[in-house]
């Protein structure tokens, strides 16, 4: 199983230089990917821009939106162009992870309704794949640039419902769980695999998951301070999410073992702080 690390793009007060140093550190430490989480109404950096900056200071590590809230991007052709641009600029390292999103304030701020977002999401995915395939749209031809990877950037879809699993099988290359226990992952992954087989797809979908972490002397306070704020709109559930964060090396190791046993192909540890020691501490914990 590959082990990735999140870029602290949503951690408040993270300075731009810290993002770039974090990306360099993560690549030097051997992590498989730099992930980002997405939200509009919060103090954080937009994912595609943050990963573009990371692409400029790295050369090997994958760059994954884990996930970007696609329905907020109503111009699917433009989103396809942005994704293809980042994928080509990074030499094919970009992985587009997308999900529906569920926060009313993000949609309200975008002038959108949450109703019908599943249908709009599928239409977006179909249009983006047509753009990446080079479909002509006007006198000048198709919408470029042409992606490095045939068919466009690797497309990973989030969601935990049967409809989400069907979308993965019909339109995606893989699936990602945005949060939850290893047991929850294994159960949902079985549903993804079943939908994949039912759709007549060959091989198996790539399956990813996220897990929050914070390490060091003040790990618990750091995790609580960030996650209780970030997920405050969920009420008591925010405390459960904060409590699940890996705040010791033993917790990190147990998550790695359990997710790997559950069939996870890549586990991305999302930071709850942006201190310069966090990358090194996580690398030591999984060594």
pLDDT exceeds 90 at position 121? yes
Mean pLDDT of the chain: 97
**Do 246 and 257 meet the contact criterion of CB atoms below 8 Å apart?**
no
Nearest Cα to 61, choosing from 9, 20, 101? Answer: 20
Extract the tokens encoding 158: 């989030």
pLDDT exceeds 90 at position 102? no
Alpha carbon distance 280, 285 (integer Å): 9
**Do 152 and 185 meet the contact criterion of CB atoms below 8 Å apart?**
no
Backbone angles phi, psi at 270, to 5 degrees: -95, 125
The DSSP bridge partners found for residue 106 are: none
Q: Are strands 136-138 and 141-142 parallel, antiparallel or unpaired?
A: antiparallel
Binned at pLDDT 50, 70 and 90, residue 99 comes out as very high
For position 62, what pLDDT does the model report? 98
pLDDT digits (tens, 9 = 90+) for 196-244: 999 999 999 999 999 999 999 999 999 999 999 999 999 999 999 999 9
For the chain, what are the domain ranges?
2-210
Task: Find the mean pLDDT for residues 118-126.
Answer: 97
Alpha carbon distance 91, 148 (integer Å): 7
For position 221, what pLDDT does the model report? 98
Which architecture, in CATH terms, is 2-210? Answer: Alpha-Beta Barrel (3.20)
């Amino acid at each position: 199983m590959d082990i990735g690390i999140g870029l602290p793009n949503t951690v408040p007060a993270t300075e731009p230089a810290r993002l770039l140093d974090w990306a360099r550190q993560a690549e030097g430490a051997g992590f498989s990917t730099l992930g980002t989480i997405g939200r509009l109404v919060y103090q954080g950096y937009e994912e595609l821009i943050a990963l573009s900056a990371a692409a400029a200071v790295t050369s090997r590590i994958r760059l994954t939106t884990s996930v970007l809230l696609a329905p907020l991007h109503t111009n699917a052709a433009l989103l396809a162009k942005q994704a293809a641009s980042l994928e080509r600029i990074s030499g094919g390292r970009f992985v587009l992870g997308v999900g529906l999103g569920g926060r009313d304030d993000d949609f309200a701020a975008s002038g959108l309704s949450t109703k019908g977002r599943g249908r709009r999401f599928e239409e977006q995915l179909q249009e983006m794949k047509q753009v990446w395939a080079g479909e002509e749209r006007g006198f000048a031809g198709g919408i470029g640039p042409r992606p490095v990877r045939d068919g466009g950037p690797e497309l990973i879809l989030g969601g935990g419902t049967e409809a989400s699993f069907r979308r993965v099988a019909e339109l995606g290359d893989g699936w990602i769980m945005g949060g939850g226990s290893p047991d929850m992952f294994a159960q949902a992954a079985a549903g993804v695999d079943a939908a994949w087989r039912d759709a007549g797809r060959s091989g198996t979908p790539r399956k990813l998951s996220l897990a929050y972490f914070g390490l060091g002397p003040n790990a618990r306070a750091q995790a609580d301070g960030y996650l209780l704020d970030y997920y405050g709109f969920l009420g008591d559930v925010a405390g459960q999410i904060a409590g699940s964060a890996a705040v010791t090396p033993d917790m990190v190791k147990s998550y790695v073992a359990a997710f790997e046993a559950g069939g996870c192909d890549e586990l991305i540890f999302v930071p709850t702080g942006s201190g310069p020691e966090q990358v090194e501490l996580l690398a030591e914990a999984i060594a």
